[in-house]
Structure 1
Amino acid sequence: MSKLVTLENANLSVQISRNGAELHSVYHKQHQQEYLWQGDKEVWGRHAPVLFPIVGQVEDGFYEVDDVKYKLPQHGFARDMEHKLITQDELRCIFELKFDHSTMEKYPYKFVFRTIYEIKGSKLSITYQVDNMDMEDIYFSVGAHPGFNTNFIPNTSFEDYVIEFSEKEPFERLLLDNGLRSGAIEHDALKGEHILPLTFETFKDDALIFDHFKSEYLDIYAKHYEDRRLRIGFKDWPLLGIWTPYQKRADFVCIEPWYGVADLRDENHDFKEKYANQVLHKEETFSATFTVEIIDNED
């Protein structure tokens, strides 16, 4: 059985792996162009990992629930587990990950986690759903980590591109210290602008993490060719990470909508008090959707 599941219409061919329910390809047929980073172990070997039940790091590699310690690696375990394909047709598929003995050793809650992919025209929608199967409230974070190519216009590379947000607003950036939040906040991080030119130096201190923003989407496009854009929609997502590996000088940028964020340095390890963690009551379902759309004004 192939590990890859394919969705296809007249515009897009999208591939998703059962391993981690991870997006592997967003290929636009008319452009004959791959828009998703294809992975390179020397740079960054992933494509678009799914982050659950944490986003980022927990300090010292562990957290506590009711005074019991649990260990979790960065971004949780969902990205490294095989997800069951529940349903599939040409335009839509659903993957599912259920709690089991191995997850309960790392995360003490009973859950069902679904990832739903659907294409329509030149737009891909990705939805994460969490069902509380426990007898009590459960706590979690969830997020996306897709990498997008920054060479989708011929003869361009990373620093030829910009990110344009849908709103001009005073972006608050949460600063990092070796993968954890330092507690410092850079106010008005874009200096009143809504366009961020992509430069490698921007990422010398790790990812940009924006909190409390109004923008509902952003566009990635080449400065000298604005008609073709990659639009990432993240309406109602509370946090957004933007990242590329600073020293690698690679042609991709990750756009990461999050419900959750890394621990604050020197904070207590209580998972129920973790900033931006979600609380889901018994028998309730959490759902969040983001979109990836290829826009070509010449079409």
Structure 2
Amino acid sequence: MFILGDSYSSTGYDIAGPLPSDDNPLGNPPYPGLTAVNGPTWTSYFVVNYNASVIKAIDVASGGAVVDGDIIPPFSPTILSLRNQTEDYFIPHFTGSHRKMDWDPNTTLFAIWIGINDVIGTLHHPSGAKVLMNALAAYAGVVGELYTAGARNFLFFTVPPVDKSPLAEYYAGSESKINSLKHYANDGILSLARHLVALHSDAWIHIFDVHALWEKVFQDPCTFPETCKLKIFDGFCPLYEKGTSSPDEWKDGCKAPVDEFLWLDWLHPTTGIMNATARMLSEELRECPATV
């Protein structure tokens, strides 16, 4: 399994570090990895906790990633865009005769969760929807590169409800625009998947609607046992945003323990909703052959 995307998926994998193995399916760093959600992200839960068989995962996702930095600049030039992850990491290191690890196109899944930073990055652009359209076209191009390199099984994630994040609330009055851009991105991801199926009859595609799943949590956190502790959905405690020593820590100055907040910081959730995401994804993949 290869994982590409942004901080919602990143575990801090070092391309020069140990490769995944049966005993260490994430390779490096040690479980749960270096994440932005105060605990395991969906990647770690999915590979280690909810796998129906042994899954070995290479996670080249990069915090802050956009689809293509030439279209929507990331907040730092050191951030690897989806294009960078594909062209500078995956293709040189995991394709061709000198690849670091063998993989079978028939049994290897390529999971891509991208678009959050593209939506946020176009918020104040006067032609945000047009720029986002260009990013989605680049997304299709990158998927085409992966296909050419041998990828045949694709898992795409929708953009979650970032219009309900503290960052959206900070930009007062921008929630509706973020919501509109988010839906535009999700429509584009669906179109991308349909186009890929029409173009390549041997490609397997599944779209996981994480947006719908998270909306259920906003409406009723006890929809899933992993999120039933959540009580605060409209803000975060700054004392928690760098992480805590335990998943249920309660720091003086915060109105509740960290695991009762949906949001850890301006844009990242806490680990509980990632746990629910991973479990529901594993159940959906077992039940559904494809969704496009």
The answer to whether the superposition gives a TM-score over 0.5 is no
Normalised TM-score (structure 1) = 0.25
Structure richer in strand, relative to its length: 1
Say which structure is richer in helix: 2
TM-score with structure 2 setting the length: 0.26
